[in-house]
Amino acid sequence: MAGTAVRGRLSWQVATVASVTDETDSVRTIALDLPDWPGHHAGQHLDVRLTAEDGYSAERSYSIASADGESVAITVERLADGEVSPYLTRELRPGDQMEVRGPIGDWFTWGPEDGGPLLLIAGGSGVVPLRAILRRWQRSGSNVPARLLYSSRSLEDVIYRQELDQYRGSAEVRYTLTRRQPAGWNGFAGRVDDAMLARIAWPASERPLAFICGPTPFVEAVAELLVARHYHGSRVKTERFGGA
Amino acid sequence: MMLDGNAIGGLLLDIFATEMTSAEATCAACGAVSPVAETTVYLRGPGTVVRCRTCASILIVVTTVHGRNCVDLSGLQALHAKAASD
Amino acid sequence: MTSPVSRGFHRLSRPGDALSGRLPPGQHATADFPVLSAGPTPHTPLHEWTFSIRRAGETLRTWTWPEFMDMPAETVTVDIHCVTRWSKLGTVWRGVPVPAFLDQVAHDARYVVAFSDGGYTSNLPAQDVTGGQAWVAFGYDGQPLPPEHGGPARLLVPHLYFWKSAKWVRGLDLLDHDQPGFWETYGYNNYGDPWREQRYAGD
């Protein structure tokens, strides 16, 4: 069994698109059929390789949107000048094929044995692995408290809104909208700053475990804010996303 | 593009045939120890450059020459992979 | 196992898009200007910036930024070719020809190594930075060269792969014997002629 798991992880395997779901105008979730998938942990990612008819190929990494035991899905944001993301978010259809390698990454993962309290901070599409972690948290019945602070440009850009709203009463989910807020909005507005963290971050004395994911400048700014709040470096895990 | 060691998990899997993002890397220049996931990584250039987040010295350079990975680890004093988690 | 074709996927720019006579083998034209680097973007303030010609550990001559700005500059339109296979056609730069610096020091060096803030280097035969081939560029597309593209000044040597055009350049070392620079040390070609597709060592 262990041998099979290693082989599945190391080599590229063919994935077939099972379904596509548009989350927002520019974000799509793609569910994949992967017959040899060895299983994954929340927070991990996979590598995708696309090959064109002329043999040209491109590889990209995407966080897995689903938790341990769930079928594999990725959530992709379309970048205007991207080469791969416009294809995945507009062209790709159920039945299409790609190659996948993974799961990858055993640093930026969470399981109930890792404890908490859990602080998840997402910038834009950085919410993808944190959504997987929150699903794992809920499905495991973990009794550590969990909070998600999710920064988006506007409410229309919030991914998984309905799902995240259903955590009300169990995990605390807060949004901050940086560019536009709808009329009557009483959530956070503007970039994550110390004043906002003062209202949502666990005190360092509780030895929280933080996961920050999003574009590099977002992650670095937030990590610095948490360290300034005396979060221990080893309990602040970061994953930086770039363009594609 | 400036990211972190999570972004080269797949590349390191290719090179080391095992998961390496949680491996502990010791910088040969300044002695700082950090998981590979937390290093600074420069991608999409002629090669992949991994730098120490503390002192910015180069830890690892990977170039792919005629389809083969060429790996320079001379910037590392040590690299300790974690035991397999599954 | 051959990779399955992903239906409908293709590279961003297709062969028909560009004037293919201007593209070296294995290159495709791009409309954007990718930012690639091997390290953090330096931010040397202009009042601290200098450009130096050195030989055998000795600085022969140094120019400050105002002195650099006083030198005769020209605007050139060139095609640039990155070894990562993108080419950008018709790029417009403003810079001082490298001979304007080298002519002010007496030398017979056969090789130069450009050195930059952050430790990057690239090596070139001295004859490849003579007239009409190489500039120290401080302007791109009518604007001051932005830091992510090598500003305040970078080397510009468009007839070779663009890794030779060292960003954040601070001077040239004059050498009698060739010495591989940064990417050359890691397996890239010592010369780097895109028209002969000299990407890697031994090509």
Which of A59, A107, A236, A237 is the best mutation test for B, with the most CBs of B within 10 A?
Answer: A107
C-alpha span between A50 and A96 (Å, rounded): 11
Among A104, A127, A144, give the residue marking a domain's end: A104
H, E, C per residue of chain A? CHHHHHHHHHCCEEEEEEEEEEEECCEEEEEEECCCCCCCCCCCEEEEEEECCCCCEEEEEEEECCCCCCCCEEEEECCCCCCCHHHHHHHCCCCCEEEEEEEECCCCCCCHHHCCCEEEEEEHHHHHHHHHHHHHHHHHCCCCCEEEEEEECCHHHCCCHHHHHCCCCCCEEEEEECCCCCCCCCCEECCCCHHHHHHHCCCHHHCCEEEEEEEHHHHHHHHHHHHHCCCCHHHEEEEEECCC
Backbone angle region of B17, left / alpha / beta, with phi > 0 → left and psi within -120 to 50 → alpha? left
User: Which pLDDT tens digit goes with each residue over C107-142?
Assistant: 899 999 999 999 999 999 999 999 899 999 999 999
pTM greater than 0.90 (yes/no): yes
Q: Is C156 helix (H, G, I), strand (E, B) or coil?
A: strand
Q: Does A97 touch chain C (CB under 8 A)?
A: yes
C-alpha span between C105 and C99 (Å, rounded): 10
CATH number of domain containing C178: 3.90.420.10
Predicted confidence at residue C106, as pLDDT, reads: 82
Q: Using an 8 Å CB-CB cutoff, list chain C residues near A47.
A: none
- C-beta atoms of C10 and A56 within 8 A: yes
User: Which pLDDT tens digit goes with each residue over A20-61?
Assistant: 999 999 999 999 999 999 999 999 999 999 999 989 999 999
Q: Determine, yes or no, domain membership for C77.
A: yes
Q: Are residues A94 and A120 in the same domain?
A: no
Domain that holds residue C117: 24-31+45-196
Nearest to A107 among B6, B13, B17 (CB): B6
Predicted confidence at residue A26, as pLDDT, reads: 96
Q: Using an 8 Å CB-CB cutoff, list chain C residues near B51.
A: 39-40
Chain C contacts in chain A segment 30-89 (CB below 8 A): 49-54, 56-58, 81, 83-84, 87
Question: How many domains does chain A fold into?
Answer: 2
Domain that holds residue A143: 112-241
Subunits with at least 3 CB pairs below 8 A relative to chain A?
A: B, C
Q: Does A242 touch chain C (CB under 8 A)?
A: no
CATH number of domain containing A231: 3.40.50.80
Q: Are residues A69 and A163 in the same domain?
A: no
Question: How many domains does chain C fold into?
Answer: 1
Confidence of residue A80 (pLDDT cuts 50, 70, 90): confident
Residue A244 has pLDDT above 60, yes or no: no
Which of B59, B60, B66, B69 is the best mutation test for C, with the most CBs of C within 10 A?
Answer: B66
Q: Are residues A99 and A162 in the same domain?
A: no
Q: Does B86 touch chain A (CB under 8 A)?
A: yes
Check if the beta carbon of residue A25 is closer than 8 Å to that of residue A77: no
The one-letter code for the residue type at C40 is P
Q: Are residues A99 and A182 in the same domain?
A: no
User: Which pLDDT tens digit goes with each residue over C46-100?
Assistant: 999 999 999 999 999 999 999 999 999 999 999 999 999 999 999 999 999 999 9
Report the alpha-carbon angle A46-A49-A53, nearest 5. 165
Nearest to A87 among C4, C5, C8 (CB): C8
Q: Does A39 touch chain B (CB under 8 A)?
A: yes
C-alpha span between C129 and C152 (Å, rounded): 20
Q: Using an 8 Å CB-CB cutoff, list chain A residues near B2.
A: 216, 240, 242
Q: Does C7 touch chain A (CB under 8 A)?
A: yes
Mean pLDDT computed over A118-132:
98
The single residue listed with the structure tokens 């081939």 is: C133
Percent of chain A with pLDDT over 90: 91
User: Which pLDDT tens digit goes with each residue over B11-63?
Assistant: 999 999 999 999 999 999 999 999 999 999 999 899 999 999 999 999 999 99
- C-beta atoms of C38 and B47 within 8 A: yes
Q: Using an 8 Å CB-CB cutoff, list chain B residues near A41.
A: 85
* Domain residue ranges of chain B, discontinuous segments joined by +: 2-77
Q: Determine, yes or no, domain membership for C11.
A: no
Q: Determine, yes or no, domain membership for C130.
A: yes
